[in-house]
Structure 1
């Protein structure tokens, strides 16, 4: 008769996720995973499979949490345009900006050699794009962005800009420069409400 599990699966996934996030996939050993999870090799593999399977579970957990946080951040502000501008400032406000994004880090490390990671990254970024696109469409309905713009195209540009800021933050770029860069990107990608209104008005 199998013994019941005596550990919190979510807590273990969070612990190993942090390990992979801090050290990367290749540099994380089985001993590291046993140490942070508090589980022996047999228990760890019985519950989650081998290192690769455990990493994929941790990566899925990360993207699920990221999408939930993104959706909340995009829907909380009264106006969608404010939410989109906050999206560009998110990497600057991160508690540990040099840690970067686990999905981006993992794709850079493993994307060329691991089709499962690459496929997951593609699906994850597509979902992020869709969530941002919904917010762009709301900003258009609120009259804050030009109505003729393609919401998905704008969303991809915003996501690319945000990920670029994440990368720049990892290099140790100072917060003042990052903030100025984020505001410059916002000015280009998210024009001021008055400018948007003028664009939407008929020419004289």
Structure 2
């Protein structure tokens, strides 16, 4: 008779995500994962596959959680500018998460070496740029954002600044500096 799993998949996947996010792919060993996830090595292989497959699943889980957070923002904010500000400010205000961005970290560490990871990161960036474009267009229709801005190019600009901020938070805790970057980035919308 087969033994039932004694763990909740998303709970242990979140633990793997946290460990990969903190240490990176290369520095994280299977033994680290076994110890941090609190499950047997065999259970990891049976449930998720090898280390690379687990990493991909953790990255996909991260993307889903980030998308959910952004959707929540848009549902609870009436102002497009406030949604954009909250996106940027959430980057410098980490509550219980590792600093930086798991997606950015993964792209930097593995993007050139691993086509699958590169594709996942690029797809995530593209979805975010499309989301930003839609927000900008909506803001232009309501008069909240200047109409003479090209929504696509502005989305690229904001995405680039947001990614830079998500990298910079790993090396500085100067809130004044980080906030001034957000202010300058969003000032183009006025």
Q: Which category describes the TM-score, using the shorter chain as reference length?
A: over 0.9
Contact 1:88 1:161 in 2 (8 A): no
TM-score (norm 2): 0.93
Deviation track 1:64-106 (CA, whole Å, cap 9, x = no partner) reads 1111111222342111122123323222223378720000001
Report the structure number with the largest CA radius of gyration.
Answer: 1
Query: 1:38 and 1:96, CA in 2 relative to 1: closer, same or farther beyond 3 A?
Result: closer
Question: What is the match of residue 58 of structure 2?
Answer: 58
Give ranges in structure 2 of 5+ residues lacking alignment.
none
Q: CA separation in 2, counterparts of 1:121 and 1:26?
A: 17
Does the CA contact (< 8 Å) of 1:100 and 1:170 recur in 2? yes
**1:88 match:** 88
1:127-138 → structure 2 map (5 Å cutoff): 127-138=127-138
Matches of 1:166 and 1:11, distance apart in 2: 25
Q: RMSD over aligned Cα, in angstroms?
A: 1.7
Find the aligned partners of 1:49 and 1:88 in 2 and give their Cα distance: 35
Question: Is 1:190 the equivalent of 2:189?
Answer: yes
Tell me the number of residue pairs that the alignment of Structure 1 and Structure 2 aligns: 190
User: Does the C-alpha gap of structure 1 residues 8 and 120 become closer, same or farther in structure 2, counting only changes over 3 Å?
Assistant: same
Does the residue aligned with 1:104 lie in a helix, a strand or coil? helix
Matched ranges for 1:23-102 at <5 A: 23-95=23-95, 99-102=99-102
TM-superposed CA distance for 1:128, in Å, is: 1.0
TM-score (norm 1): 0.87
- Please list the CA deviations of residues 45-73 of structure 1 after superposition, one character each: whole Å capped at 9, or x if unmatched: 01110000000000000011111111222
Per the alignment, residue 177 of structure 2 pairs with 177
